[in-house]
Structure 1
């Protein structure tokens, strides 16, 4: 058996459904690397290397091919049901063959453990290759699939393969806040997984009295164009969307030169949709959040309640936001302050993964 301090190799598979899965996992890997500075990391995801470098540093191998896609989206808040159903039909047309192909990839790489947030085919492949694996997320695609596509004639067979893949993992580390997971039989609840940003407002351009808002709808385009964004006296808006060249009050958030979590902690308000990364980073910093309600998204009930317990938060429609943004902000800022959250899940997840890396695992395959 290797000495506990010897170099270990972790394979991290990340859903390329927006940037949230990669963002929420990064502080866990940072905590793990504090325990294991010599950790070798492989990241499997279709997300761009530039984004991964921002969150994980450059010391990892990037595998850009992954069968997971999450859900096909029409916009940041609208699921393309037909395209998603077709994507899953194709993915599961020969699921056994797909899993064997991914297992061969893992056998060649010989990692000591696999972490998935939250591609289930990778978990099934790890089980096939005899490599210990754990899932980490606030959602799973099996329950998402059943929620949106469970009435399709092929759904029962597809969902069963998804469920079995998740259950093949040593555990599903469910980060707070999270959706209900009736499909998953190996859930281990942990605390919030997120990075607490640092307020660096004094480093940002403009007069100190000016107000700064962040408009961020995640890594998937939103159907809200910034060309329609109301102009408010005394406000500047940093946007992750395309910025209209004629608007001097809107700029790209990247122009401000801060990591996203630090920018979250440095603004007066965040305008967003329900999403684990932005919600938790706001809750850790106590920054008010104005968000577009998303009642169809299974994570929303838990995330909404959690956010309102840790910062001022107000759910609105796009029409209300664009029609009278000033009034909505006034209502938001009048809400009582809340106690900020703590990110206890970072170390809890890192400890679990560290134990997984230490496990003695044979090279035999599961049947």
Structure 2
């Protein structure tokens, strides 16, 4: 069976949701063939999804254009949607022709709506999975633009027309989707190799490691101006380290990201499904910069604080000394065990029934 899998390229959270589920589906149904449809680099896909798979290296949706990891570019986002929906029937027809050429049997999307609409136009099976849908996000940012009325209707029709929509907790309400089925959190799991990681980095066994990152969307942070902090090593994107003696570029390490996460003492990030859920399932405490206008953020934050250890920080606190104070406060919170993680199994069961 040939499954087209569309993954939004808005950061890495959509891939973090889809990848463990695809790997489990293939374990349960080895004859599945995947064609990944995403503007994410093949290397990013391969780091999470076991081969083999084909790759259509194109964007399947607009997502939201971003100034940086925290701030949406409304002007650029509106321009993208205006062009994307300029001749919607023709775009859907072209996408449907692609499905026919590829001999696709079904479409699974997290959470691009164009492939769903194309599959529905052919009478093919289609399903979606995500903690959000782009119609709700676009409504929040661009719903007051008159030219978005028709695109929003087309988006919602595509989501409502899917055979099912797996609503991955913690999720936005999506009460208008009668096809929505809620499942527990879905995330990949890493191996805790704490001692091995510190030996690999030539650090003492009691050295604390703090992972810094904003989930795959650019953000300017310069650790070069941070003071040295005894007892802590920062793991950050290479562009952030800028020669700081206590910073190691995690993107230069030959180390699986989930194993890296499982071996650190804290994560500093922003609200995002992959970052929050993966941290909690590995019992890693979280400091986060808020995204007060992101519609999904309240659901993510409520779940994070209910299930894990977490504190919110301001951007002004993102420097070595203030961050150390917040980290010590975070580490002083009562430890919590990782919650059960059976979302992958439940979601895979739903999808196997759908595929059958």
* TM-score interval for Structure 1 and Structure 2 normalised by the shorter chain: over 0.9
2:269 paired with 1:272: yes
Describe the superposition over 1:51-73 as per-residue Cα deviations: whole angstroms up to 9, x where unpaired. 11111123001111234120000
Counterpart of 1:51 (choices 27, 36, 44) is: 44
Report if the CA contact (8 A) 1:113-1:356 is conserved: no
Task: Report what 2:71 is aligned to.
Answer: 78
Query: Is contact 1:138–1:178 with CA below 8 Å preserved after alignment?
Result: yes
SS at match of 1:262: helix
* Selected match of 1:29 from 12, 22, 25: 22
SS at match of 1:139: coil
Gaps of 5+ in 1: 1-7, 359-367
- Cα RMSD for the two superposed structures: 1.5
SS in 2 for 1:189: strand
Question: What are the within-5 Å matches in structure 2 for residues 210-221 of structure 1?
Answer: 210-221=207-218
What is the rounded CA distance, in whole Å, between the counterparts of 1:32 and 1:228 in structure 2?
A: 46
Question: After superposition, what is the alpha-carbon deviation per residue over 1:255-288, rounded to whole angstroms, capped at 9, x for unaligned?
Answer: 3432111111100110000111111111101111
Query: 2:241 touches 2:249 (CA, 8 Å); kept in 1?
Result: no
C-alpha distance after superposition, 1:86-131 (max 9, x if no partner): 1000011111111111111111112222110000111101101221
Equivalent of 1:88 in 81, 93, 101: 81
After TM superposition, where is structure 1 displaced by more than 4 Å over at least 4 residues in a row?
A: none
Tell me which moved more, 300-309 or 47-56. 300-309
**Alignment partners' CA distance in 2, 1:328 and 1:243:** 20
Residue of structure 2 aligned with 1:99, choices 68, 83, 92: 92
Q: Specify the alignment match of 1:361 in structure 2.
A: none
Q: 1:117 aligns with which of 110, 114, 132?
A: 110
SS at 1:343's partner residue?
coil
Of the structure 1 ranges 167-176 and 309-318, higher mean CA displacement relative to structure 2 is found in 309-318
Return 5+ residue gaps in structure 2 as ranges: none
1:347 corresponds in structure 2 to 345
Map of 1:317 onto structure 2: 314
CA distance in 2 between counterparts of 1:232 and 1:317 reads 20
In 2, Cα distance between equivalents of 1:256 and 1:125: 40
**1:193-342 mapped onto 2 (5 Å cutoff):** 193-204=186-197, 205=201, 206-240=203-237, 242-322=239-319, 324-342=322-340
**Which residue of the partner structure matches residue 13 of structure 2?**
20
Q: Report if aligned partners of 2:7, 2:112 keep a CA contact under 8 Å in 1.
A: yes
Q: Is the 2:220–2:240 contact (alpha carbons within 8 Å) kept by the matching residues of 1?
A: no
Distance 1:151 1:255, change over 3 A: same
Equivalent residues in 2 for 1:50-199, closer than 5 Å: 50-199=43-192
Name the CA distance, whole Å, in 2 between partners of 1:346 and 1:228: 42
